[in-house]
Structure 1
Amino acid sequence: MLSRRTFVTAGLAAAVTSAPLWSAVTAPRARAAAALPLTLKNNSGSGTVYAYISGADTSGWPGFVTADGVFHRLPNPSSPVTPIPDYAIPLGGSGSQVTVTLHDHIIGGRVWFSADKKIQFFVNPGPGLVQPGFTSSDPNWQTNWTFCEFTYNSANLYANISYVDMVALPVSMATTGAAGAQSVSPLPDGALGAIADGLRAQHTTDGAPWDQLVVTDASGKVVRVLAPGHSPTDFGGYWTGYLNAVWDRYRSTPLTINGQGSIGSYTGTVSGDTIVFAGLNTNGVPFTKPSAIDIFGCASGPLYNSGGDARGAIAARLAAALNRSSLLVAGGGNQPDGVPPSQYYQDPTTNHYARLVHQHASIGYAFPYDDVGPTGAQPVDGHLQDPAPTSWTVALGPGAGGGTTPPPGGVSAYSTIQAESYSAQSGTQNEGCSDTGGGTDVGWIAAGDWLKYTGVDFGSSSPRQFVARLASGAAAGVSGAILARLDSTSGPVIAEIDFANNGGWQNWQTVPANIVGAATGVHDVYLTFGGGSADFVNINWFTFTR
């Protein structure tokens, strides 16, 4: 599994002069042409929205794309923090959209949105784009803005939604192309406020400055929640007690960290104040106790990542274990394979921002190495990747494609629930469907994938059956289970369908399963999938019957 970093800036003094620290490239089945329609949608409910497209050209020179698709290179000023021309792309009222054709490849790109007020951008000598920062002295501090990231080159389009820097206005995305129809759902309704409330409550509990991560505008409205690496207040010795306990544990107990891929595993113990891994060259940067900013940022002090070598891989996985406080739980001496996600964030001292992000948002990195996990586990990032995209849509708010948010009060469990109407998903893709009625089904489903449906109303009496419309063209010997669960990916199983090849990926069959236990009232329904690692089923719709 590749560790990915999200490129972050620290305010007006910081300049971006190069591509992100990671860039996704795969061996393509087709080649991405430099002519991609990018549709920008305002689905926010706000009547005044501005979009921006920033990045660097293939020479690494930063700039902006305007509504006519032209890439404008930034000037190279002699003075720091020089204002740049206004490259805003105004969007109409809620429900409107503007399509911009990208005629050039863009690396290290971002699509930005702001509501009610424009973002002020600046340039430093270099040149380097000065992006909106994370301090109250920044002119964009109370502006309601957000972004997604992308790289569009000759190999592919790779776009992702990340919460490494902050949680703010929701963004959703969709693509079509050689990889089929794909989509990424936005931050769910109410999640921003819930995360803010949770951090304020955590401050009341432990006194740490979690409440300082909540940014409000002049009216008191929450506009974003910062990751703790951008905290305006130092967390000081927040981690001291936990680190002392970890270092004491591994003075006599071996700590094994699997660098994964070709890196292999390294085992070490604490000697003095340093974790020493046998056979690992630390490049002169020993694994001593990190500071709070080292842990939250995953990029400094002993958690400095030296790149794609063994030290970098071990540092990334140690950083992930610290943010999740998974080093003292059962299996904590075997990282990351020995600890399931259900055991993350259980210690009172942990990255509570990451805990709350994952509680309220099913996708999106909450710290730089949030993709580190047990071998074979699904990553948590919300990304789209296509070697030859034919369209890309980015929306402020829901509705770019794929998942849709059910209306207030939820959806009846006894209606036909289209599989593609999920509110969140992991590991799947949408595709065109040839079943009666056509439309879209959800495919590319394997063990570990899941689909979430928010607010499903079972009423006052429990259903008798779960019924799903399924198809499979899986290889011989490949099968899996479709599990209907309540309220989480590890919640109680109320029905199970075991399924294998039934004649083809569009050979649709209606399959019932009896309900186990009971389901009444309103619940989030999760379809989780178990079995082997290969794709084994497509889903068109499902329902419950009494």
Structure 2
Amino acid sequence: MVTRRSLIAAAGATGAAALAGALPLASRASAAAASLPISLQNNSGQGNVYAYISGADTSGWPGFVTADGVFHRLQNPSAPVTPTADYSIPLGASGSAPVRLTLGQYLIGGRVWFSAGRKLQFFRNPGTVPGLVQPALVSSDPNWQTNWTFCEFTYNSANLYANISYVDMVALPIAMTSTGSAGTQTVSPLPSGALAAIASGLRSQHAADGAPWDHLVATDSSGAILRVMAPGHSPTDFGGYWNSYLDRVWSHYQSHTLTIDTQGAFGAFSGTVSNGALTFAGLNTNGVPFTKPSAADIFGCASGPLYNSGPDARGAVTARLAAALNRSNLLVSGGASQPNGVTPAQYYQDPITNHYARLVHEHANIGYAFPYDDVGPSGSAPVDGHIQDPAPTSWSISLGPGGDSGSTPPGDGTSAYATIQAESHSAQSGTQTEACSDTGGGLDVGYIAGGDWLKYSALDFGSASPRQFVARLASGADPGVSGAIRVRLDSTTGPQIAEIDFANNGGWQNWQTVPANITAAATGVHDVYLVFTNAGGDFVNINWFTFQH
């Protein structure tokens, strides 16, 4: 019998590519094409949630991606501050099924936004290239009373890079997972209760020192916390908050040497304070001396003596000096050697410090709290929450803990009631992946014949057994060829809990959702195996599956 599998195997590499063009999606999509399956989901416990994907194409033109995965360039308005079209992607209430799309082109400077309860308002300004006006952290912004958050990303020919950052604010929690050549990468959301704890800590700090830490807590009309802003966005000036600490530092380094190792090609620079400026021998400061910075300079790490000079020696020194100031560790033991002379346990110990950053790192599991928060002793673990993959195959983003994992291999305790992508198997035998034309695109698992199997590790069924196994299937099998998908626990010969018998339903990409009753109870955590049996050749493709109560 001639099957898709045997044709491809017989053709060889060159012939396989030619045959794949004649067969329905018989091979994986070209790696050169920009195509990224994305899953968006509301797992926040909030009511209706809306997502937005903004960014710029490779020419730098801004726009939005809609639910069909298409990027829409912003039209140039004839007047300033003109509302954009509605590019929201409704995600529904918490626990709703994920929205899947395939991003079909590269984007730079991107953000995935979430808003709870109401839509965000975006605006545009005219120009040679129109300007996108995004939600701002000021009370006059029309989105001020909307509960919103975002993560950042760039997707280009080199990689997908995405991160969750608290440099601007702490707000609703976001979780991310990606799959690809770098494996499975996951960024966990802000822990439950962390936002309230950070807000409470800032209010307590205000009560202790009188600085406007409490003004960083933004609430809605009922007093519920919407977000906590970084001090660089404070509506109230911190004035001379840092003055006494800076006086101590400048006095100390008049008679002591401060050495800053740039941890790279520029080497180390040593300096002392003279005539009110911290001067490093051999360092060209581009005419801007390291005088005492203001509170805004320290919190923002980009102005005054701490201005960002770019990828040069001064920029490298500035990054490490700014980090040391925010952490107030220039006067601790080892503080004269930055950044290798001090440990994270010595950060934020002075009463005058960046208490926002202190509290973020106390209550959040990851995430930068100021622009140079990646500075640390050589070999130290990063504090950021990012994923990076040179050849991604999926990216899932959820508001709240991750539920749907897109094409994410399930891990310990992953819910059996999530939508589990077939290609996310932790092990397999005999199958291949291919481009999928079903809603959401991405990949499916095909070339499945008798004796093949797929393994999904550590699915959590909870304390009550499901009632149904549901799978998304397609088949273009030859006439008379059919087979069974048997769901087994913990091994390919373990207890069988469900079975679907399937044959040709009109084509290898003619997708159909097929349920089957659970025939034996499944509770707790198990490895799940899909074991395929038949007496012919290839008989089924599978896109995803789930269990239902």
Quote the residue 1:366 is aligned against: 369
Of residues 210, 213, 227, the one that matches 1:207 is 210
Moved more, 77-86 or 290-299: 77-86
2:289 maps to 1:299? no
Amino acid at match of 1:122: F
Amino acid at match of 1:119: L
Shift of residue 433, structure 1, vs aligned partner = 6.9
Quote the Cα distance in structure 2 between the aligned partners of 1:420 and 1:286: 54
The answer on whether the counterparts of 2:155 and 2:161 sit within 8 Å (CA) in structure 1 is: yes
Q: Deviations over 1:378-421 (max 9, x none)?
A: 1110000111111100000002579xxxxxxxxxxxxxx94999
Quote the residue 2:282 is aligned against: 279
Query: Per the alignment, in what secondary structure is the counterpart of residue 254 of structure 2?
Result: helix
Query: Per the alignment, in what secondary structure is the counterpart of residue 223 of structure 2?
Result: coil
Shift of residue 439, structure 1, vs aligned partner = 4.8
Unaligned 5+ runs, structure 2: 1-29, 406-410, 416-423, 429-453, 459-525, 528-549
Amino acid at match of 2:55: G
Moved more, 71-80 or 250-259: 71-80
How is 1:137-286 mapped onto 2 (pairs within 5 angstroms)? 137-286=140-289
Quote the Cα distance in structure 1 between the aligned partners of 2:414 and 2:278: 47
Quote the Cα distance in structure 2 between the aligned partners of 1:282 and 1:420: 52
2:44 maps to 1:41? no
The answer on whether the counterparts of 2:39 and 2:404 sit within 8 Å (CA) in structure 1 is: no
Amino acid at match of 2:108: I
How is 1:26-175 mapped onto 2 (pairs within 5 angstroms)? 33-96=33-96, 97-126=98-127, 127-175=130-178
Cα RMSD for the two superposed structures: 2.2
Quote the residue 1:472 is aligned against: none
- The normalised TM-score by structure 1 is 0.69
Amino acid at match of 1:130: V
Quote the Cα distance in structure 1 between the aligned partners of 2:426 and 2:257: 51
Of residues 306, 313, 317, the one that matches 1:310 is 313
Shift of residue 31, structure 1, vs aligned partner = 5.9
Shift of residue 124, structure 1, vs aligned partner = 1.7
Query: Per the alignment, in what secondary structure is the counterpart of residue 287 of structure 1?
Result: coil
2:371 maps to 1:377? no
Query: Per the alignment, in what secondary structure is the counterpart of residue 288 of structure 2?
Result: coil
Runs of 4+ in 1 over 6 A off after TM superposition: none
Quote the Cα distance in structure 2 between the aligned partners of 1:261 and 1:157: 25
Cα pair distance change 1:431/1:199, threshold 3 Å: farther
- Which protein is bigger by CA-based radius of gyration? 2
Cα pair distance change 1:205/1:227, threshold 3 Å: same
The answer on whether the counterparts of 1:174 and 1:183 sit within 8 Å (CA) in structure 2 is: yes
The answer on whether the counterparts of 1:121 and 1:130 sit within 8 Å (CA) in structure 2 is: yes
2:392 maps to 1:398? no
Quote the Cα distance in structure 2 between the aligned partners of 1:277 and 1:400: 51
2:352 maps to 1:349? yes
The answer on whether the counterparts of 1:36 and 1:391 sit within 8 Å (CA) in structure 2 is: yes
Quote the Cα distance in structure 2 between the aligned partners of 1:345 and 1:433: 46
The answer on whether the counterparts of 1:317 and 1:372 sit within 8 Å (CA) in structure 2 is: yes
Shift of residue 216, structure 1, vs aligned partner = 0.4
Query: Per the alignment, in what secondary structure is the counterpart of residue 79 of structure 2?
Result: coil
Amino acid at match of 2:305: P
Quote the Cα distance in structure 2 between the aligned partners of 1:172 and 1:321: 29
Of residues 340, 344, 356, the one that matches 2:343 is 340
Query: Per the alignment, in what secondary structure is the counterpart of residue 402 of structure 2?
Result: coil
Amino acid at match of 1:95: G
Shift of residue 74, structure 1, vs aligned partner = 1.0
Moved more, 387-396 or 89-98: 89-98
Shift of residue 219, structure 1, vs aligned partner = 1.1
Of residues 317, 321, 325, the one that matches 1:322 is 325
Cα pair distance change 1:378/1:86, threshold 3 Å: same
Shift of residue 431, structure 1, vs aligned partner = 9.6
> Number of paired residues?
390
Moved more, 393-402 or 380-389: 393-402
Quote the Cα distance in structure 2 between the aligned partners of 1:177 and 1:149: 19
Shift of residue 123, structure 1, vs aligned partner = 1.0
